[in-house]
Amino acid sequence: MTADTDKYTCQTLLDVQPLTPNLFTLRVSRDAGFRFRSGQFARLGVSKADGSVVWRAYSMVSAPHDEFLDFFSIVVPDGEFTSELSRLGAGDTLLIDRQAFGFLTLDRFIGGRDLWLLATGTGIAPFMSILQDFEAWERFESIKLVYSVREAKELAYLDEIAALEQREYLQEFAGKLQFIPVVTREAHPGALGERITTLIENGELERAAGLELSPEHSRIMLCGNPQMIDDTRQVLKARDLQLSLSRRPGQVAVETYW
């Protein structure tokens, strides 16, 4: 075994499903030795025709107890990775690092009563993993999943979100989860219509959730595009909700996409 293959395993692409022309899910086999915490990401590699490998980081959508790995991706026009990936089908090979990465995990937080998961676009991925795991449900009294997209067709995993509390191992926690969709570029029944930062600033998000954001009770995870992360962090900081660091526990944890 070479030094390189000490770092990654060769896995099989089991399924690829387009959700919209720009979004797709993929399911990959899982090495028996691969371990991760909900909220972490893996580095996926695709071999190019010239023999080189293109690597990209993707959060796991699947739960740590699943025997496969699920990922959620946007199609990047002329993107080096997704262009190669789009040529692959079930049965083809992907490379996956042996180690999982990332700190968007519940152990970032001390205390807290209410868990807020704020996502834009494919940033929903790590939250799907967290919501399929037992820890969040057991630890928090309420969970608010806020999922913002531009158009309603981009809302992914709606059936899975709706069915979470019917899972046998989560049934005792029924009623803890509230799903709050946000669609910013068109009116959509049941969805809020402004950016997450605006919804926090004008109080509409808290009114929809029936719950106040507070340093004492709220623990907030952000995942999405860098501008959303930066803007939301500033809005939360003005409310005395601080980034959680190893040397200074706080109320906010983030993962920036692309």
Of 2-11, 72-81, 174-183, where does mean pLDDT reach its minimum?
A: 2-11
Q: Which helix (H) or strand (E) holds 45?
A: strand 41-47
Arithmetic mean of pLDDT, 48-67 = 94
Instruction: Supply the mean pLDDT for the chain.
Output: 94
Domains of the chain: 3-97 (2.40.30.10), 106-256 (3.40.50.80)
Q: Are 122 and 225 in contact (CB under 8 A)?
A: no
Q: Which helix (H) or strand (E) holds 29?
A: strand 23-29
- Location of structure tokens 């940033």: 123
Please write the tens of the pLDDT for every residue from 170-227: 999 999 999 999 999 999 999 999 999 999 999 999 999 999 999 999 999 999 999 9
Side by side, the strands of the sheet bearing 114-120 are 177-183, 142-149, 114-120, 218-224, 252-256
Residue 213 and residue 200: Cα distance in Å, rounded?
Answer: 9
Arithmetic mean of pLDDT, 33-60 = 95
Q: Which residue has the higher pLDDT, 46 or 6?
A: 46
Predicted pLDDT at 85? 82
Residue 3 — pLDDT band, cuts 50, 70, 90? Answer: very low
CA-closest candidate to residue 68, choices 7, 15, 138, 6: 15
Residue 2 has pLDDT above 60, yes or no: no
Q: Are 156 and 147 in contact (CB under 8 A)?
A: no
Q: Which residue has the higher pLDDT, 84 or 224?
A: 224
CA-closest candidate to residue 26, choices 74, 67, 98: 74
**C-alpha distances in Å from residue 230, one per residue of 6, 169, 251:** 36, 36, 15
**C-alpha distances in Å from residue 151, one per residue of 84, 192, 228:** 27, 12, 17
Of 40-49, 55-64, 71-80, 120-129, where does mean pLDDT reach its minimum?
A: 71-80
Instruction: Kindly provide the residue ranges of all beta strands, DSSP E only, lying in 60-195, ordered along the sequence.
Output: 68-74, 93-97, 114-120, 142-149, 177-183
